[in-house]
Amino acid sequence: MALENAGSKRFSRLFTEDWLSVVVGLVLVGLVLTGILKNIP
Amino acid sequence: MSDRVLTSSEVASASRPELSKQWAWWSASLLLVVLLTVATWWLNKAVPAWSKPLRVIEFPVYAVLLGLLASGVLSVFGIKDRLAAYFRTEFFLKTGLVLLGATINLAEIVAFGAKGLLQAVILITTVFFFTWFVARWLGVEDKLRALLAASVAICGVSAAITAAGAVLAKKEQLVYVTGLVILFALPLMFLQPAAAIWLNLSPDVAGAWIGGNIDTTAAVVGAGMIHSQQALKVATIAKLSQNALIGVVAFLLALYWVVVVERKPGQRPSAWEIWERFPKFVLGFILASIVVTVALSNGWIASSVKRDLGHLREWFFMAAFLSIGFGLSFRGLREAGWRPIGVYALATVFNTAVALGVAKLIFG
């Protein structure tokens, strides 16, 4: 149980909004650079 | 109450209607954020078309007002908290900041030449520290001070947003500074080109002065156009040179905050602590900037990609300011007091004088 808590604590620390925004931002940059996302109004 | 332990299937079936209800609220919240962001985008396009002087009013104003309106209406119906799930200021802001990094082509700093870079470095350094110390002298709170200094010294709204992310400022502080940026840009857009003509400045000097002083890009373009085409060209280059250095300032500001401001008395933070507290979007910002610079320099992507990245960034910033308006506390705004207005006014006067001197020296 203690191990499970420690694991989930590490997981939530890793997936803070700070990191999530970096991942989403870079994925969006990748989508635009590869031309998958284009002609954005 | 019975002591009988519920089986897992009983728990699942009991919570299913509750969960689907929750999903309905989450979906409604997401839809509301999307609709209000589209409304902000529409206002940002339509209002400048109606009235030219109003083009200096940028999207944060419409977004905050729509957020406030939505918050008021939903509060009346008692459903504001249930629909608040997707108004995620921090997520939208930081994702927008990573995208902002992607629109900054580091090669442009070199392409603009030593003159543009020299002016940008001198102005950012002197104006930042002047504002920083005047704000300290007037007793302005640390985070608000960082936002004021960054926005006057670099590029208005974008710099205020970046500094807010770097020092984890309150949303009310960001709204306050954004309001000041727009308020001061409006008269400068008309006064500065008129002053440049009155002072008989050459188009190059006038452009460098306008680009080095006025904080919002829209107002820089407006002021440059009032003066001359050449002034507009130089003003845009001067402004872009300053914008390109925003990542450097964000990195240094974030590091200073973690190592100096938030340090416990008598303790030196370990490298791990610095890493843990350091805002990670700065890394995303720099990485995105490097990737786009390399891709553009090697001709792997078309330059039109930058326009798409700019538009995408604006969508995220609109959603961020919408979320700020949604959760805005007027008490937080009142707490900031009148002093930041005084700081901003003094810093703008200083910026105007120094920018004129530097522009004459470098571009004269």
Q: How far is residue B150's CA from residue B333's CA, in Å, rounded to a whole number?
A: 19
Residues B143, B167 contacting (CB under 8 angstroms) = yes
pLDDT, tens only, B100-120? 889 887 776 666 667 888 899
Query: B102 contacts in A (CB within 8 Å)?
Result: 25, 29, 32
pLDDT at A6 (0 to 100): 47
Among A17, A26, A33, beta carbon nearest to B284: A26
A14 close contact with B: CB closer than 8 A: no
What residue type is assigned to position B216 of the chain?
T
- Residue B294 at interface with chain A, using a CB cutoff of 8 Å: no
pLDDT on residue B11: 55
Q: Please, are residues B163 and B150 in contact by the beta-carbon 8 Å criterion? A: yes
Residue of B97, B281, B298 to mutate, interface with A, max A Cβ within 10 Å: B281
Which residues in chain B have Cβ-Cβ distances shorter than 8 Å to A37?
A: 308, 312
Task: Give chain B's end-to-end CA distance (angstroms, integer).
Answer: 86
* C-alpha pair distances (Å), B96 with each of A21, B18, B21, B340: 8, 34, 31, 26
Size of interface A-B (CB pairs under 8 A): 76
pLDDT, tens digit, 9 for 90 and up, residues B135-169: 999 999 999 999 999 999 987 888 898 899 888 88
Residues of A in contact with B90 (CB under 8 A): 17-18, 21
Name B333's Cβ contacts closer than 8 Å, sequence gap at least 6: B172, B175, B176
- Chain A hits for B101, CB-CB cut-off 8 Å, are 25
**Angstrom distance (rounded) from CA B234 to CA B209:** 9
Nearest C-alpha neighbor of B327 from the set B64, B43, B58: B64
Q: Do A32 and B41 make contact, defined as CB atoms within 8 angstroms?
A: no
Dump pLDDT digits (tens) for B266-325: 777 778 777 877 888 888 988 999 999 999 888 888 878 889 999 999 999 999 999 988
Token pair 């109004």 is found at A41
Q: What is the pLDDT of residue A11?
A: 46
Binary contact (A17, B287; C-beta < 8 A): no
Whole-Å CA distances, B250 to B120, B147, B168: 15, 11, 12
Q: Any idea which of B18-27, B174-183, B324-333 has the lowest mean pLDDT?
A: B324-333
Identify which of B186, B173, B189, B177 has the alpha carbon closest to the alpha carbon of residue B153. B177
What is the Cα–Cα distance from B343 to B273, expressed in whole angstroms? Answer: 33
Could you say which of A17, A18, A29 has the minimum Cβ distance to residue B309? A29
| HEC secondary structure over B272-309 | HHHHHHCCCHHHHHHHHHHHHHHHHHCCCCCCCHHHHH
A4 in contact with chain B, both atoms CB, cutoff 8 A: no
The contacts of residue B9 (CB under 8 Å, 6+ apart) are: none
Contact across the interface for A33 and B291, Cβ inside 8 Å:
yes
C-alpha span between B87 and B63 (Å, rounded): 12
DSSP state of B83: T
Token output for B219 = 């107002």
Q: Chain A residue closest to B282 (CA)? A: A22
- Show residues of chain B in contact with A20, CB under 8 Å: 91
Going from N- to C-terminal start, the domains of chain A cover 2-26
Residue B156: predicted pLDDT? 81
CA distance B356 to B221: 18
Q: With helix as H, strand as E and coil as C, how does B238-251 read?
A: HHHHHHHCHHHHHH
Of A22, A33, A39, the CB nearest to B280: A22
Q: How distant is the alpha carbon of residue B23 from its chain centre?
A: 32
In angstroms, the separation between the Cα of residue B276 and the nearest Cα of chain A is 9
Per-residue HEC secondary structure of B115-148 comes to HHHHHHHHHHHHHHHHHHHHHHHCCCCHHHHHHH
Q: Which residues of chain A have pLDDT under 50?
A: 1-8, 10-11
Residues of B in contact with A19 (CB under 8 A): 280
Confidence of residue B52 (pLDDT cuts 50, 70, 90): confident
A interface mutation test: which of B283, B305, B307 has the most A CBs within 10 A? B305
Nearest to A32 among B96, B280, B309 (CB): B309
Query: Which are the contacts of B19, defined by CB distance < 8 A and separation ≥ 6?
Result: none
Tokens encoding B298: 């090697």
Q: Which chain A residue's Cα is nearest to B278?
A: A18
Collect all residues with Cβ–Cβ distance below 8 Å to B198 and sequence separation of at least 6: none
Residues B64/B83, Cβ–Cβ less than 8 Å: no
**CB-based contact, B301 to chain A, within 8 Å:** yes
On the question of pLDDT at B183 being above 80, the answer is yes
* C-alpha triplet B186, B192, B193: angle, nearest 5°: 110
Nearest to B94 by CA among B177, B162, B158, B157: B162
Each domain of chain B, given as residue ranges in start order, spans: 89-363
B280 interface with A at CB cutoff 8 Å: yes
Dist. CA B256–CA B146, nearest whole Å: 11
Distance (Å) from the alpha carbon of A33 to chain B's nearest alpha carbon: 7
A31–chain B Cβ distance below 8 A for any pair: no
pLDDT at A4: 44
Contact status, residue B154 vs residue B121, Cβ threshold 8 Å? no
